[in-house]
Structure 1
Amino acid sequence: MRNPISAQAISYNETVPFNDSPSWRPSMVHEELPAGSVVCPLTRKVMLVSPYPGRVQELIVSLTEACFDVFAAHHLKPGALEHFEPDVLVYDLTSMVNEEELFQVKSRIAAHSRSVPMLFLVNEMFMLRKTSTVINEELIAWPTRSQEAVQRVSRIVTDGQIPYGDTGRKYQFKDLTIDIGKMTVLQGDVRLELTKTEYDLLVLFITSDGVVLSRETILDQVWGSDFFGGSNVVDVHVRSLRQKLKDRAVSSKYIVTVRGAGYRLA
C-alpha cells in the first residue's frame, strides 16, 4: 500500500538561498508516519533542482518513501553541493531545447562545486532528437512514472560509491556515524577505537547496502588479492569488531552472520 504522504507536505521556498545561515532548512515531510511504515536505517541524499515544483512533487515523495533524504530548490546556488554533499544531483531541464544548454549547466556546476553524479530530467522531444554527444549523460524523459526515476537514482548512487576515496563523505547507520575523511567512528556520542582492519571491515559492510558478502569477497576487499591467509581471519576480525560495537552474533544489531555464505549488514 502506498505511504499516504501528501505532495503538499513538501514545501518550496524560492526566496531562501543555499548558504550556511541557520534560517535555511531543507524541504521536509511534517506528517507523522502511520504504523507499519518502513523505517530507513540507512539513507542517501538527493538534491533536486527544478524551477517547476508542480512537475516534481510526486518524484520528491517517491524518493522520500525510498529512503532518500531530499533537498529541493528552484535554483542551484554556489556552495550548495559542498554544504549538503548529496549523493546525486537531479536537475530539471525539461524546458531545454538543445544540447548546449545541458553542457552549460554542467560547466557552471563544475566551476563552483565538487564533483557529484547527475541525473537530468529532459522532455520527450529532446530524448528523441539526442545525438551521440550526450550518449554518456544520465538522462530520463520527464514526466514518467516516478518509480522509474527512483530506480535510476538508486543505480547511480550504487555505481558512484567511492567509500575509501571520497574524503568528504559521511555514512550513517542506526547510531553509527562513519567519517571517511577523518577515519573516525562514533556510536552515538562515543568515539570507537578501531584498528585499521576493523574500520575497513565496518566501512565495507556499511557501503554494501545489506548485500551478503562472502569471506572470499571480504578478504579481497579488505586484505587484498595478495593475501594468502585462510578465510578464518575474517571471522576473527568480525568477532573483534562486534565486541567493540557491543554487538552479538545472535540477533545482531549491526553485522549478521549468514550461515554457509558470509556476512551482511543487519
Structure 2
Amino acid sequence: MESKILVIDDEMHIVELLKFNLETSNYEVDFAYDGLDGYIKAKENKPNLILLDWMLPNISGIDVLRKIRTDKDLKQIPVIMLTAKNMENNKIEGLEVGADDYITKPFSIKELLARISSVLRRYKINEKPSEIILSTGNLKVDLYKHEVHKGDEKIDLTLKEFELLKLLLENKGKVLSRNHLLDKIWGYEYYGETRTVDVHIRYLRKKIEGDCSSEKYIQTVRGVGYKID
C-alpha cells in the first residue's frame, strides 16, 4: 500500500513541486496551506508522514508540531520540518518539540526523498520484534505494544526517543558513540551533527529519570557516547 504524505506549506509553488515529485515516487499526497487546516487533515486522514513548514498562517508549524506530539491519535506520526529558518537554535527547538528531521529551504528533492524513505523505514510498525520486553531496573520497554513503563507509570516517548532507548537497551553495557546512534536511528549521514543525539538523549532522560537522582539509567561517557548498564 502506498504511504500517505501530508504536506503543510503556505507556498503554492513548493506544494506543487513536492506533490509532483512525491507522486512520481509513488506516494499518495495530500496538502494544506495553513497550520489549522493541516492539523485538521492530519486528524482526519492519519498520514504516514507529515512534511511541515515552520512559517504558516493561523497556527505556526512549530505549534502544529506541539499539537501533533500531544495528540494521542497523531503523536506517533513522523514529522519532517521544511523551513527557511536555518539557525541552529531553530533546528534544536524543532528537534526538542519532536521533529524527526529538519530540512532547510532551498533543499534538494533527491535528498528530501532519501530522508523521507529513511524515516518511513524507521517507523515500520508491522515488523515483529525479535524480543518483546527489554528492561533495566524498574524500566520496561514493550517492543510489541511500543510502550514504556517505569514501575506502574506509563511513559510517553516520541518514536526517536523510543528507538534510542531500545537501541541502548539492546546493547546494555556497551558504549554507543553519538555517530553510531545517528547512523542507526536517523539512518543516513547526518554530517556529524551529534548535537541532535544530545538533544534527544536529554529529553529521554528527563522523561525516564525525572528529578530523582537515584534513578540514572543512561550514562554519559564523555567524549565517546552513551550506555545503559
Using structure 1 for the length normalisation, give the TM-score: 0.39
Using structure 2 for the length normalisation, give the TM-score: 0.44
- Answer with 1 or 2: which has the greater Rg: 1
Q: Which has the higher helix share?
A: 2
